A and B are shown apart, each in its own frame.
Chain A
Amino acid sequence: MKSRTTELRHGGLRNVSPGPVEARLMRPGEVRCVRPVHCVRPVRPVRPGRVARPLRAAALGLALCAGALAHAESRPRYGGIVEASLLGAPVALDPIAAQASADVTVVGLVFDTLYTIGPDGTVQPHLALGPPVLDPARQTAHIALRRGVVFHDATPMTASDVADSLERVRTKIAWLLAPVTGVRTSGDGVDLVLRAPGADLATLLALPETAITKRGQAPAAGRPIGTGPFSVASVDPAHKKLVLKAFDDHFAGRPYLDRLVLDWFDTPDGEARRFETGATQLSARGVAAFAGAAPKYPASEVEGPAALLLFVGFGKRHPQITGDRRFRRAFDLALDRGAIATITTGEHTLPTRLPVPIEAASTTLEAAARAGDASQAQLVLGDAAKHNAALAPGSLAGMKLSIIVEDTRPDDREIALRVARGLDKLGIGFTIEAVPADKLRQRVQGGDCDLWIGQLTAPITVTAAWWGKAFAADNDGWAEAQLAAGPIDAALAEQAFAERLPIVPLMFRSLLIWYRSDVHGLGFDALGRPGLADLYWWKIRP
């Protein structure tokens, strides 16, 4: 017997299906993590490996009894496989390289961080036992580590692994641990030597980039080893499939599911077709890909916070053009973000000119500003041409700037078309090329493009992370320098961003996921990641 609850969001009425998803009144701009991941988790069974062999039979009997009891008490049951879709191909299974939604989602399932950020913005210890403790001189912060944490290969996580991992983050992503000058082991935890006191270390250490890897090394590409709730069973880029296996020894208990299969697609309706035929149980497009069509299976939808920033990054194929800040400003003005924001499969989109979501104290883009100002853009470009001959109309007349997008993110192609319209208004030709995710990353890193459509995600309330990632996307050290001295001043950051425009933000979007009504437990964390680790079948499917 099904009941229906009604949820009022953003002034609209929305029908949702019954289940464990909480329904409550939401305010505009509020983080819509319906069911926080890692915040509320059902009681998990005792890991069998830790039970002495003579007691296994008894434990198994207890577990079965508990399961039967749970079923009888409407508690989740363990087992089953869920197939879900990702928002694009996961390229980097290395935490420090994870940027796009798919990367961050997978990293969150395979690796753990010292802290996590709840949907209400509060930082909670995860691998850490408690918040960082400053020494009396406020020059060192000590973080005690949870005991009994093991990697997927059954080796225990040590303080050395944590220290090495953080040291790697410090050297590879300079802005992220800019307040830290060194990391060392110290007893049951690690000491972080601070550059300046006052840094919100726990928040920074909740970012997925700071997840702990074994010996602090980059994980193997095909079989990364972390401490997360799932281990990687197989990676099959040819069939666009990543299979995760439940990690029995996860310190917080194993996930309900035995396996989690993650797919990604290169056509707009490929994902929806698979959902419609029942092959996948979770889909970001779901039934929405076929307007007016009724879903074959009973389905519900849940939406996370708009914590995914889509932006235009700049390559170096024509640095005299795309490297010019005045060109970037003209381009920024020419974009019709209102049109870009129409690219949605039902999820919430927020046009923006700043890389900071409204929840992180950014401002809402006015309606007039959403449409852009082509005339003003042309004036800015004309003024720029006085200083840069490459921007003169004659030079730009035959120019075609290349825009590259990831071929497994069909929405990005539509976004690229709108972005190209901005170039068109400036009298600049363009080409759009959809390339595989790994190629896109290589070309972006090598500067082999003019413009590229990128994604950034961070906890919506962590301002520093947004600024840091935005500037770092163009290898701009402004944020790093600010963070090394202390918290970033929002006004100063907005001014610096407007002047330097390391990226051109387009819009924030959320992730709206359709799921089969017999799959439960779906929620979102502060980064807008779906909480796939907490999924379970209402009735176990073979």
Chain B
Amino acid sequence: MKLRGRFTLTLALAALVPIAIAAVVTRQVIAASYRSDYEDRRRTAEAAVRGEVERLLADVEQADKALAAHDHPLVGRLLLALAKQSTGRLDYTAARELEEQSGPTMRGLSLDVLSITDKTDRVLCSPHAHGKIGESNHPEVRERAQNGPGKAYFVREDITKELEPQTVLVAEASRIAQDGVYAVAVAAGRRVTEDLLGVRTSRSDAQIVASTGEVLIAPANKDWAALSHDRIEIPLAGPDGTPVATIEVAVSDGDMARVLRNITLTSAALALVALVGVVLIGLLVARRTARDLDQLVAGSLAAARGDLDHRVPVRSADEIGAVAAAFNFMMEDLRVSKERLVIAERIAAWQEIARRLAHEIKNPLTPIQMAMDTLRKTWKKKHPSFDEILEESTATVMEEADRLKHIVSEFSAFARMPKPGFQRLDLNELVRSALALYQGGAAPVEITLFEQLPQIDADKNQLSQVVLNLVENARDAISGRDDGRITVSTRLGEAGDRAMLIVEDNGPGVPGDLKDKVFAPYFTTKHAKGGTGLGLAIVHRIVSDHGGRIAVADVPGGGARFAIELPLRNGTALLTSRI
């Protein structure tokens, strides 16, 4: 992973960890607080509902007790009317009066159910359900009054309002009202309404479910199912004690869940924002740092390429800035040192060249001096063979003069070698063209070319001279051998960024101590054969001018191998790779 990534990741982790820890701790603390509050609210809600139930039952018992009193206007007059009837049944007027007064009486006591039956269990009064008036066979009112007089219970009753029938849950109490021998059973009831569920707030809700499973009063909250996982059940006992319905109270822990969820979400959002911020900051910082480092890297590469004028900008006074300043200082020092070195090398090279040139020039001067000295001596002695000697001496002088002339012209050519004129050319074609003259000769040149080799930027004439010089050098190496063999090949460098030209022979090869000298001007092992020692030096010079490299190595089994690497494009000099 690059420095930029590592830096950003480290910063992100450093930001996330404390946020996560803070979120978890906060969540736990708030959850504990809410749980405690939730339990309190549950207890409060249950107590409130039970209190409402008790109050409702007490109210109904009180109302029934008041109704069943023999001096109550309704029941008292009813008992009086019954007493007046010899048949034990109400006459029309009394029945009508009872019917008229029962409704207001029922409503006046805030009741919803009022049933009065006579001793034959015939319904005398039922303002809540007119359809029952006059019906026989209703012993339940009397039985309830006898079994638990005045004690309220819950029961489901049919009531009719505006011709609409409905079965509702009522809290009811029954008593026997008696005046002498005349008695009626009086049941008074109040409908169980939502008022009983006063706990229904935004944080708690309740419903009433019949023993049959029917929901009698639905919860107000639409998502009852979500908040009712832990319900408080309060049974509503019927006349025989068995529950006819149950109040289910649910206190919402939705707030807790919601707050905790919000904390989690907020933490996550904060973490996300922090993460994004940290990543952005990290990227900026890393980018700046990496940019400075990248510039140092680029500077190093430039230095490696020999561009000692390259400098990196110094943007800060921190360590990176110090490194950049030190780099620049180093580059400046290297540049100065290199210039000095170049000057020294140039002086040394010219001294060497002058020494070698002087040596080369000195060699022909000796025969010339000796020829001229012999000629002068023989002329003084009037040697009879003076003419012959003159002829030989002048011939020697002329020969050596020609030799000097050749040396000077070669030197001049080496010294005046122009800069390459680059053009795109096919190296394979150049090799084939340059070696055409060698095909079919005594020592044929074997050519192995890499056909997919891309074109390169090169000076055609100079590169042809390189090929010819190396091949001529190889021919000299294998001269005198019947199995002499020269191989010229091309191929693409492993990185695909350079072309390679390789010339091999199976001659005696280059001794190890001479491998560093063969490219030096005027170094030759072929003085006897008229070598000037400038062939490989010219090759080295041309290759260098093309931004390439040349190396000499031994061929296994004997022979020398000259390998040239040339960049495919001008200006991309090869620096590090070596064969």
Question: Which of A's residues lie within 8 Å of B, judged by CB?
Answer: 288, 290-292, 336, 338-346, 370-371, 374, 413-414, 416-418, 420-421, 424, 429-434
Task: Say yes or no: B136 contacts A339, CB within 8 Å.
Answer: yes
- A430 and B166 CA atoms in complex are apart in Å by 10
- B135 touches which of A345, A371, A434 (Cβ 8 Å): A371
- A429 and B134 CA atoms in complex are apart in Å by 21
B101: A residues at CB distance < 8 A: 291
Task: Say yes or no: A430 contacts B93, CB within 8 Å.
Answer: no
Q: Which of B122-139 contact A (CB under 8 A)?
A: 122-123, 129-137
With A290-B100, A416-B163 known as contacts, the answer to whether A340 contacts B92 (CB < 8 A) is: no
- A344 and B134 CA atoms in complex are apart in Å by 11
Q: Which of B500-549 contact A (CB under 8 A)?
A: none
Task: Say yes or no: A339 contacts B163, CB within 8 Å.
Answer: no
Nearest to A417 among chain B residues (CB) is B131
Nearest to A374 among chain B residues (CB) is B137
- A424 touches which of B93, B100, B158 (Cβ 8 Å): B158
Task: Say yes or no: B163 contacts A342, CB within 8 Å.
Answer: no
Answer yes or no: B95 CB below 8 A from chain A CBs: yes
Q: List 30 A-B contacts (CB under 8 A).
A: A288-B96, A290-B100, A291-B93, A291-B96, A291-B99, A291-B101, A292-B93, A336-B134, A336-B135, A336-B137, A338-B122, A338-B134, A338-B135, A339-B123, A339-B131, A339-B132, A339-B133, A345-B96, A346-B92, A371-B136, A417-B129, A417-B130, A418-B131, A420-B131, A421-B131, A421-B135, A429-B165, A430-B165, A431-B164, A433-B163
Q: Give the top 10 A-B pairs by smallest Cβ distance, nearest first.
A: A417-B131, A339-B134, A342-B134, A291-B97, A371-B136, A432-B163, A291-B96, A339-B135, A421-B131, A336-B135
Task: Say yes or no: A340 contacts B163, CB within 8 Å.
Answer: no
Interface size class of B (residues with CB under 8 A): 20 to 34
Answer yes or no: B160 CB below 8 A from chain A CBs: yes
Nearest to A341 among chain B residues (CB) is B134
Q: Give chain A nearest CB distance to B214 CB in angstroms.
A: 12
Task: Say yes or no: A336 contacts B96, CB within 8 Å.
Answer: no
Interface secondary structure of B, over-half rule: mixed
Q: Give chain A nearest CB distance to B87 CB in angstroms.
A: 11
Nearest to A422 among chain B residues (CB) is B131
A429: B residues at CB distance < 8 A: 165
Q: Give chain B nearest CB distance to A190 CB in angstroms.
A: 47
Task: Say yes or no: A417 contacts B160, CB within 8 Å.
Answer: yes
Q: Which of B76-98 contact A (CB under 8 A)?
A: 92-93, 95-97
Task: Say yes or no: B136 contacts A342, CB within 8 Å.
Answer: no
A288: B residues at CB distance < 8 A: 92, 96
Nearest to A423 among chain B residues (CB) is B165
- A430 and B123 CA atoms in complex are apart in Å by 21
- A336 touches which of B95, B136, B165 (Cβ 8 Å): B136
Task: Say yes or no: A340 contacts B134, CB within 8 Å.
Answer: yes
- A311 and B99 CA atoms in complex are apart in Å by 24
- A336 and B99 CA atoms in complex are apart in Å by 18
Task: Say yes or no: B100 contacts A338, CB within 8 Å.
Answer: no
- B95 touches which of A342, A416, A432 (Cβ 8 Å): A342
Q: Give chain B nearest CB distance to A456 CB in angstroms.
A: 22
With A288-B96, A291-B97, A371-B135 known as contacts, the answer to whether A414 contacts B163 (CB < 8 A) is: no
Nearest to A367 among chain B residues (CB) is B136
Q: Give chain A nearest CB distance to B546 CB in angstroms.
A: 102
Q: Give chain B nearest CB distance to A293 CB in angstroms.
A: 10
- A344 and B92 CA atoms in complex are apart in Å by 8
A434: B residues at CB distance < 8 A: 163
- 9 further A-B contacts with Cβ under 8 Å, apart from A341-B134, A434-B163, are A291-B93, A336-B137, A339-B133, A340-B134, A342-B134, A374-B137, A421-B135, A431-B163, A432-B163
Task: Say yes or no: B97 contacts A292, CB within 8 Å.
Answer: yes
With A292-B93, A339-B123, A342-B95 known as contacts, the answer to whether A418 contacts B134 (CB < 8 A) is: yes
Q: Give chain B nearest CB distance to A297 CB in angstroms.
A: 19
Task: Say yes or no: A371 contacts B95, CB within 8 Å.
Answer: no
- A342 and B122 CA atoms in complex are apart in Å by 12
